[in-house]
Amino acid sequence: MSTKILEEVFEVIKDRKQNPREDSYVSALLKHGEEKILGKIREESLELLEASEQGSEKEIIHESADVIFHVMVMLASKDIDFEEVMEELRGRRKPRESE
pLDDT tens digit string along 78-98? Answer: 999 999 999 999 999 877 666
What does the pLDDT look like over 25-61, one tens digit per residue?
Answer: 999 999 999 999 999 999 999 999 999 999 899 999 9
Task: Give the residue extent of every domain in the chain.
Answer: 4-80
Q: Report the distance separating Cα 16 and Cα 60, nearest Å.
A: 27
* Matching CATH number, 4-80, of 1.10.287.1080, 3.30.70.1380, 3.30.450.40, 1.10.3720.10: 1.10.287.1080
Q: How far apart are alpha carbons 21 and 23 in whole angstroms?
A: 5
- Closest C-alpha to 68, from 21, 14, 9: 9
